[in-house]
Structure formats: C-alpha cells, structure tokens
Amino acid sequence: MINSHTTGAIIARKRREHDWTQLELADRLHVTPQAVSRWETGDSFPDLVTLVQLSEVFKISVDELLANRTIPANATSSQTSLGDLVAGLARGEPETVSRIIIDDPQQMEALIETAPLTKPSMLRKVVNAMGNFEFTNEQILQLAPFVDEDVMETFIESEAGETGDRKFFRGLLPFLSETAIEKFLDRILAGEITGVRPGNLAPFLGEAL
C-alpha cells in the first residue's frame, strides 16, 4: 500500500540517520530542497525513478521505503514485491513488470497503485507485454484514468461482448476516443454489447451520434 505520509516519514527518518540536511539530500538526488520537504510532509510523492534513487542513497530496499509489509521477512528470493514492480517501472523494463504480474496476478494491485506515478507510454508497454492476461472489469476501471486511448481500445476489444455490465461500460466511456466510441456504438447496434444503451453515448459523441 502506497501512502505518501508513511513514505515521507521514512524519508525524513533516514535522512536524519545519515545526518543530512534537506539541501544535502536534495543535492544527491538533483532535486530542490522544497521537493524533499514536500515528500517528508506527505504533501507530494517522489516519482518512481526518484523512489529507486532514494532506496539506493539510503541503502535500503524500495519495499522498506514504501513500508511494504505484504512480503514476509522470510520471503524467498523468488517472491516478488511492490518494490520489484516499482523498480521495473522506474528502469523502463515493461517485460519485467509484465512477467511479475503474470507469475503472480495479485501484483496487479501493485500496478494499479503505481499507475498514477507511471507514464501512460510505460503502462501501454506493460499491458502490451502481458499478452492475453485476463484483466477484471474492476482492474480496467481502476487503470482507465492513467492509460492512453490505445490501451482503452484494447480493453474494449477484449472485454466488450463478454459481459452485460452496464456500470463497467459506462465507466469506460469518458476515457475512450470518439472513434472508439463510434465503434462501440456500432457493436451496440449490432447486438454484440448489451450493457449500454445507444443514448448513453450521446454526451461523449456530440453531433456524431
């Protein structure tokens, strides 16, 4: 679980343990002292690359920096964690991230947690590398605000027609391109999708409907 205040408190504690001022830590990370101050108070959160840099500067794991307690202390080296996934995203390794989730689908929750900190282009690469991974409707809705339109169209193509979940389809509409929604409308009219009425698309199509 990512919590800006918890991680901020850890950053502050580790900085003091090293007897560094906020300026000295900022210099090591090539950021401003104001950025360090906002992290420590929980008013903002470091980006993923900076999180990894912080773990290296403090010589601790990313999991410790995130106070991630989902992995037991006696975990084997083969077990993955939130920190492993964060490191993969920070290093631009979509195949590594996708493999972590495919091997342990519970790590999808970690991807959803880090989605607000991840570039849409990186999320697209991760989703593409996951191949035929079966996303749940809830997972798709949680990722929708953070992925680009290409990924949303992929979700629609893979999920549409397999469910009549009206809440699911209506939840996706604000994140689809107009072209995708027009295709969506065609599938509704053809009877392939039963979860949404044609009129529900009107606010998202303007004069195109």
CATH number belonging to the domain at 1-133, selected among 3.30.930.10, 1.10.287.610, 3.40.50.970, 1.10.260.40: 1.10.260.40
Model pLDDT, residue 80: 65
Model pLDDT, residue 183: 77
What pLDDT digit, counting tens, does each position of 86-138 carry?
A: 999 999 999 999 999 999 998 999 999 999 999 999 999 999 999 889 898 89
d(CA 43, CA 34): 11
Model pLDDT, residue 165: 65
Find, among 178, 180, 183, the residue nearest to 204 by Cα.
178
The percentage of the chain sitting over the pLDDT mark of 70, rounded to a whole number, equals 82
Confidence of residue 25 (pLDDT cuts 50, 70, 90): very high
Model pLDDT, residue 208: 45
Q: Is 91 helix (H, G, I), strand (E, B) or coil?
A: coil
Model pLDDT, residue 191: 77
The angle that helices 82-90 and 94-103 make with each other, rounded to 10 degrees, is 160
Q: What is the largest CA-CA distance in the chain?
A: 67
What single DSSP character describes residue 195?
S
Which segments of the chain belong to CATH 1.10.260.40? 1-133
Model pLDDT, residue 209: 43
What single DSSP character describes residue 61?
-
147 vs 200 pLDDT, higher one: 147
